Amino acid sequence: MSPNTVASEPPRTDRNGASAPSLPVGPFRPRPGVLAARALDAMALYDPRSERYLTLNPVATRIWEGLQAGEVPKGIVNRIASEYEAPEVQVRADVIAQLENWLSEGLIEPGVAVPPSDGARDRVEHGMRAPAEPAVVQIPSVFRCGLTIGRIKRSLRKRKFEGTLAWIRAEVAPIPAAEDADLELVRALEYAVAMAGAFYPGRARCLEQSLTLYLLARGQGVAVRYCQGVQLFPFVAHAWIEYRSEIINDVAEHVKHFARFPGQLP
């Protein structure tokens, strides 16, 4: 069998004798890099390769979660049919259609599930350790912050979102980070970035400002966390920075409305 061939069950017929679509055998998994955030009984996906968001209905959400857990398609069909007390033939058709759609869009691929990461695990995997001396945060000028915003915006245009994150990871990977920097100094750094964003020609959105703040702080050994999430109804995407579980460039009352994606930067 070719590596790109998707195995399926033998063809079936419905009660009228017509052939029914074959259910792929699997297993399948979400393509690494595709982010998922659950909100109530729905879910949002973000595909950094195509830079687009998708909203899943409750049934599609249950299918996606089954793939994350390593379930094969037949198991997903049986579980959903039982949970919703729905006819298996209808659930089977819905699962087939959804899998074929996700495969054609490159959102899933053959293979076993890879558990989603979180910020804490990302920090451990990237070897974060406390430096010997407490981090001393230098507050850059508003002009330098503006230049960094410009670098981020150019990278997003040239490398797109996925490539920009890879570039930032490479920039900060050799730098140990810790949470011993003074919180007020981190807030002062955020203020300089916010001022640069306000004066920047054109628009510096939450994404550009958050990536700029992350790069400037993490580049000095400050263990800030880049966060990204979505609000489904109405649909809004958002990015922000946290340090010591404190929200730095937003407020808790606003952030609490967003379902978080897994961590993407160390």
What is the pLDDT confidence band of residue 108, given thresholds at 50, 70 and 90? Answer: very high
Classify residue 29 by its DSSP letter.
E
Q: What gap in Å lies between CA 33 and CA 94, rounded to an integer?
A: 25
pLDDT at 11: 53
Tokens of residue 47, six digits: 């595909």
Give tens-digit pLDDT for 145-197. Answer: 999 999 999 999 999 999 999 999 999 999 999 999 999 999 999 999 999 99
Give φ, ψ of 160 to 5 degrees: 65, 180
- Beta-ladder partners of 240: 227
pLDDT at 121: 44
Give tens-digit pLDDT for 6-23. Answer: 555 555 555 555 455 688
Residues 129 and 246 in one domain: yes
When comparing pLDDT for 204 and 15, which is higher?
204
Q: What gap in Å lies between CA 209 and CA 158, rounded to an integer?
A: 18
The answer to whether residue 148 sits within a structural domain is yes
pLDDT at 155: 96
Q: Which of 110, 139, 163 is the last residue of a domain?
A: 110
Helix or strand holding residue 194 (H, E) = helix 183-199
The answer to whether residue 219 sits within a structural domain is yes
Tokens of residue 244, six digits: 């010591």
Q: Which of 110, 129, 152 is the last residue of a domain?
A: 110
Helix, strand, coil percent content, the chain, rounded in steps of 5:
40, 20, 40
CA 61 to chain CA mean position, Å: 15
Domain of 104? 19-110
When the pLDDT of each residue in the chain is averaged and rounded to a whole number, the result is: 86
The answer to whether residue 8 sits within a structural domain is no
Q: Which of 81, 110, 139 is the last residue of a domain?
A: 110
Tell me the CATH number at 47. Answer: 3.90.930.60
Whole-model pTM: value is 0.76
Give tens-digit pLDDT for 41-54. Answer: 889 999 998 889 99
Residues 142 and 222 in one domain: yes
